[in-house]
Structure formats: C-alpha cells, structure tokens
Amino acid sequence: MIVDILFSDFFGRALAGGVLIGITAPLIGIFLVLRRLSMIGDTLAHVTIAGVALGFLINLYPLAAGLVFAVLASFAIEKLRKAYKSYAELSIAIIMSGGVALASLFFTLGMGYNTDVMSYLFGSIYTLDSTDLMVVGGVTVVVIVVISLFFKEFFLLSFEEDAASVSGLPVRMLNMLLTVLTALVISTAIKIVGALLVSALLTIPVAISLLIARSFKSSVIFAVVISEIAVVIGLVIAGIWNLAPGATIVLLLIAMLILTMVGKRKFSS
C-alpha cells in the first residue's frame, strides 16, 4: 500500500515539483534573509492568493494569474521602499494588507471555488498536474540561470549595497531582478507548501545554513541541501502517514533548525 503511494504518478510529480522548489526557494531566500527582507515572502504569497482567486473567478490558469499579481506587487514594494526609505517594512505591511483585502474580495465574489483556493493557502502538492510541473520547471531554469550569471553581483548587493553602487554596478536593475525572481519563486512555491507556509521554505534552510557555514558560497550550498533533505524526507513521511505535505516539510525544517542550534551549542561549549 505504502509502496503503491510512493511509486504512484501523483507522488512522482509531487516529488519532482518539491525537488525543484527545494532548489529555488533557498537560492532566493538567502538574498532575502541577508538583506533583512524575510517578510517579503509572506507578502508576495498573500498577493499571489489574490491573483489565484481572480484566476478562478475569470476562468484563467490560477498560477499564471497569481504570478502576474506577485510580479506587480514586487514592483509596488520596490517603489514604496524608495518612498519610505527609513521605514522599508512599511511597504511590506501595505502590500500584504492590500493582497489579503483583494483576496477576500475575490473570495466573496466567487463563493463556489473556495475549496480550490484553500489548496493554494495550505498547499496541495499531490494535485500538481503536468502544466504546473512545467511552470515550476521553467521558473527553476530561469532562477538558476540568473543567479549563476549574477552570483557575485548579488553577493555584493546583499553584503553592502553602497559598495555595489560605488563599483558602478546597475544596482536598480539588480534589485528589480531579485524582486521579480522572488515573485516567480513564491507564486510557484505556494502550490507546494501553501501561501501560509511559503516563507518558511525561503527562510528556515537559510537560517540553518547561517549557523554552520563559514563562507557565502557554502551558505548557499548548505541551504539548498538542507531544503532538499526536508522536502524529500517530508514528502515521504507525509505520504506514508497521510499527513499534510507542506506542514510536514516545514515542521521537519524547524526540527532541523532546533537540532542544529542545540548541536552547535554543545559543539562550541
């Protein structure tokens, strides 16, 4: 019975989607965490839900509608961040509440599809179809290519934005690129772990890697490896005991974080 589940088509698709998101989420997450923008994940996830709700309302592919909403919201966050330079978190609060307001408005306009939207709120990795998988795959390729091309520039941007400006780097373009990539990753990740848990996948692997890594390069590698371990083991555990996959992955990550913190304390004492 368990073997049947683990070798089923839907589990295979879930595993493939999970592995892909397991790469992209920490790859983007490390830049967000180091730039103190961890909450941006939650904000874009809430806005994506508004897009998904609109997608259901007007009969459009929900993930595409969510993706467009997330990208537009990322531009709005950048604009607001410039307007309130000393209160950057204000932009996140404004856009997040706007996203929740729009989502609830679309919910009330289309009462019939609430259960579908719920799958995006809490994630439903087992319902990934081949179109979803192609979108996730496309986003993964884009993220890996862009991060590889601009890895050193994103490093300097995160380490010291002023130094990046003084070096003549196109800081505005790089910031925008990173924000758009964040929107792409979040809008595809919500199908896996759900909008309410997506920022966990972006931040917890990075939080663990920051405890053990010495260099920037090793932090990125550790974060991706930790994320993959949590996604694969989490999915298998969820499949065997019939648990919510998104929640299992996130709780596994939290357990790994606690273990690392305890282990580090014991090791250093």
Partner 1 sequence: MLSLAQEDCHEHIIELENISFSYRDQQVISDLNFAAKERDFVGVIGSNGAGKTTLLRMIVGLLPVENGDIRLFGQSIRKFKDWERIGYVPQKNTFNPLFPATVREVVLSGLYNNKNLFRRVSKSQQRQCDDALEVMRIQEIANKRIGELSGGQQQRAFLARALINHPDLLILDEPTVGIDAETQAGFFELITHMHAHHHMTFLMVSHDMDMIEGYLGKTPKQKNGKIQFYVRHSHEIQNCEEQNLQHSLT
Contacting positions for partner 1 (CB under 8 A): 34, 36, 149-150, 152-153, 155-156, 158-160, 162-170, 209-210, 213-219
Q: Are 175 and 50 in contact (CB under 8 A)?
A: no
Nearer to partner 1, 114 or 167 (CB): 167
**SS3 helix, strand, coil % of the chain, rounded to 5?**
85, 0, 15
Check: CB of residue 109 under 8 Å from CB of residue 91. Answer: no
Picking from 241, 238, 212, the residue whose alpha carbon sits closest to that of residue 225 is 212
Nearer residue to partner 1 within complex by CB, 68 or 180: 180
Nearest-angstrom CA–CA distance, 146 and 201: 20
Q: How far is the CB of 81 from partner 1 (least distance, A)?
A: 16
| Nearest-approach distance from CB 210 to partner 1, in angstroms | 6
Q: How far is the CB of 148 from partner 1 (least distance, A)?
A: 9
Nearest distance, CB of residue 213 and partner 1, angstroms: 5
Separation CA 242–CA 254 (nearest Å): 20
- 195 vs 202 by CB, closer to partner 1: 202
Residue with smaller CB distance to partner 1, 188 or 219: 219
C-beta closer to partner 1: residue 14 or 169 = 169
The CA distances from residue 8 to 11, 21, 97, in Å, are 5, 20, 40
Provide the 3-class DSSP secondary structure of residue 138: helix
CB of residue 130 to partner 1, shortest distance in Å: 34
